[in-house]
Amino acid sequence: MKLKGAKAVHYESGPNMTPLVDVVMVILIFLMLTGSFGGQEHYLISNVPTSKGGVGSSSAEIKDEVALEIRVDSPTPDRFVATAGRIQADSMEKLTTQLKAMKAQFNKEGTTDDKIQVKISPGRNVKYRFLVLCYEAALRAELPRVGFATGR
Amino acid sequence: MAKRHIPAAHGSHPNVTPLIDVVMVLIVFFMLVAKIGVNTGADEKIIIPKTVMGIDIKDLGNTLVLNVRQGQIDQPYITALVKGTPTELKVFDPTTKRNQLVETLKYFRNGDKVAGIAANPDFKVIIRGDESMEYRFLEPVLLACAEAQVKEWAFNTGKVEVEVP
């Protein structure tokens, strides 16, 4: 039997793109599944050297440097208390507010931000996540130089 | 004027050219953005703390990722990708009495003259610590960085999604 419109359907419109589309789709799916974009993580960077002897023993040579020590303790495993001079805070928000006030006071007295060195001095049993919160509080207060003091 | 008709074949086959265009653009995008086969040695099983602030490090070429967990007594359990192999770095090895962590950091920082590896003053350490770890386990790592004269170190943290009011 002869099909009526068979010749009309077979139209030469260029190269067959189907294998190309197949391969390209496979590559696309592979890239989508295997690729990691690293968008879920970031970094808190410090270039202030860690000092063994606490505040004032830094090897950084900056003239007229002002040290700001934040002592962090953990009275119970699920909370922390940060003390810096007269201020005391048990959350990142409170610590940020108080550090901002301290920074404003330092600035008023003529100390620029780059001369304020924040040193977080934690107790041995303080959880890492609390230290990161204190670190973040200092960064949120726009204090650029944050480091750690050890040996408590 | 004679009318031009579209051949019948055009009606039966969809035009795949726009599809190929879009897919090609997507492939190029994924090839440029995705990090495929980049192994920094980061242990994904570690639950890292989350922060709102933080910056992205684009170039991880000069860095060593230290996975830090709570170990036994006061010893942290540290692993890192050293010479392409995941390696445990002990702060104090009781058999050799050596600090493997400091030695490794010094190797990356100061190089190895015998092996012909140059010093790298821009060497950075990324600390990927378990959020529930106590500071006494992190302290030796920071001291080791200081001893090896590592100029810069960073805490690897997760991003907190900030809700826009």
Give the pLDDT of residue B150.
87
pLDDT by residue (tens digit) across A75-133?
998 999 999 888 899 999 999 999 999 999 989 988 888 888 888 999 989 999 999 99
Three-state SS for A133?
Answer: helix
Interchain pair B23, A28: CB under 8 A: yes
Query: Is the ipTM reported for this complex over the cut 0.90?
Result: no
Residue B91: CB partners within 8 Å, gap ≥ 6?
Answer: B75, B76, B78, B99, B100, B101, B140, B141, B144
What's the CATH code of the domain at A88? 3.30.420.270
Asked which of A3-7, A138-142, B48-52 is least confident by mean pLDDT, the reply is A3-7
- How many domains does chain B contain in total? 1
What are phi and psi for residue A146, nearest 5 degrees?
-120, 130
Asked if A48 and A120 touch (Cβ cutoff 8 Å), the reply is no
Give the pLDDT of residue A37.
63
Full domain range(s) for residue B74: 50-159
Q: Report the 10 Å Cβ neighbour count for B39.
A: 10
- Mutation pick from B33, B65, B135 vs chain A, by most beta carbons of A within 10 Å, is B135
C-alpha span between A148 and A121 (Å, rounded): 6
Instruction: Give all strands of the β-sheet with A66-73 in edge-to-edge order.
Output: A87-89, A81-84, A66-73, A116-122, A145-148
Residue that the structure tokens 């810069």 belong to? B152
Q: Is residue A63 exposed (0-12), middle (13-18) or buried (19+ Cβ within 10 Å)? A: exposed
Interchain pair B134, A52: CB under 8 A: no
For A62, what's the count of Cα atoms within 13 Å in the CB-facing half-sphere? 17
B101: pLDDT strictly greater than 90 = yes
In a domain, A115, yes or no: yes
In a domain, A20, yes or no: no
pLDDT by residue (tens digit) across B109-163?
998 888 778 888 889 999 999 999 999 999 999 889 888 888 888 999 998 876 5
In a domain, A90, yes or no: yes
Interchain pair A9, B151: CB under 8 A: no
In a domain, A10, yes or no: no
Residues of chain A with Cβ-Cβ distance to B57 below 8 Å are 43, 45
In a domain, B72, yes or no: yes
Length of chain A: 152
Res. A57 pLDDT band, cuts 50 70 90: very low
**Residue A28 is inside which H or E element, if any?**
helix A18-34
Asked if A150 and B143 touch (Cβ cutoff 8 Å), the reply is yes
Give the pLDDT of residue B130.
95
Interchain pair B155, A133: CB under 8 A: no
Give the pLDDT of residue A58.
43
Interchain pair B27, A31: CB under 8 A: yes
Residues of chain B with Cβ-Cβ distance to A44 below 8 Å are 51, 53-54, 154-155, 157
Give the pLDDT of residue B33.
75
Asked which of A142-146, B34-38, B101-105 is least confident by mean pLDDT, the reply is B34-38
- For residue B17, the chain A residue with the least C-alpha distance is A17
In a domain, B141, yes or no: yes
Residues of chain B with Cβ-Cβ distance to A32 below 8 Å are 30
Give the pLDDT of residue B23.
85
Q: Report the 10 Å Cβ neighbour count for B133.
A: 22
Full domain range(s) for residue A116: 66-148
